[in-house]
Amino acid sequence: MKTLSETRLFGGVQGVYSHPSAATGTEMTFGLFLPRAARTGKVPLLWFLSGLTCTHENAMTKAGAQAWAAEHGIAVVFPDTSPRGDGVADDAAFDLGQGAGFYVNATQAPWAGHYRMWDYIATDLTRVLFDGFALDEGRQAITGHSMGGHGALSLAMGLPGRFASVSAFAPIANPTQSDWGRKQFTAYLGADESAWSAHDATLLMRAHGFDGPVLVDQGGADQFLGLLRPEALAEAMVARRQEGIFRMQPGYDHSYFFIATFIRDHIAFHARAMADSGGSGAGS
List pLDDT tens digits, range 203-217. 999 999 999 999 999
User: Residues 161-179: pLDDT tens digits?
Assistant: 999 999 999 999 999 999 9
d(CA 191, CA 196): 9
d(CA 246, CA 111): 34
Percent of the chain, pLDDT > 90?
Answer: 97
Residues annotated as catalytic are: 146, 222, 254
Question: What mean pLDDT is predicted for residues 85-93?
Answer: 96
Residue 249: C-alpha distances to residues 84, 217, 218, 253 (Å): 35, 7, 6, 9
pLDDT at 56 over 60: yes
Residue 145: C-alpha distances to residues 41, 110, 157, 246 (Å): 29, 26, 16, 15
User: Residues 226-255: pLDDT tens digits?
Assistant: 999 999 999 999 999 999 999 999 999 999
Question: What is the pLDDT at residue 277?
Answer: 80
Question: What mean pLDDT is predicted for residues 176-202?
Answer: 97
Among the listed residues 213, 147, 210, 138, the one whose alpha carbon sits nearest the alpha carbon of residue 178: 147
Question: What is the pLDDT at residue 45?
Answer: 98
User: What is the pLDDT confidence band of residue 279, given thresholds at 50, 70 and 90?
Assistant: low
Tell me the pTM: 0.96
Question: What is the pLDDT at residue 276?
Answer: 87
User: Residues 2-55: pLDDT tens digits?
Assistant: 999 999 999 999 999 999 999 999 999 999 999 999 999 999 999 999 999 999
- Rounded to an integer, what is the distance from CA 1 to the centroid of its chain? 22
Percent of the chain, pLDDT > 70?
Answer: 98
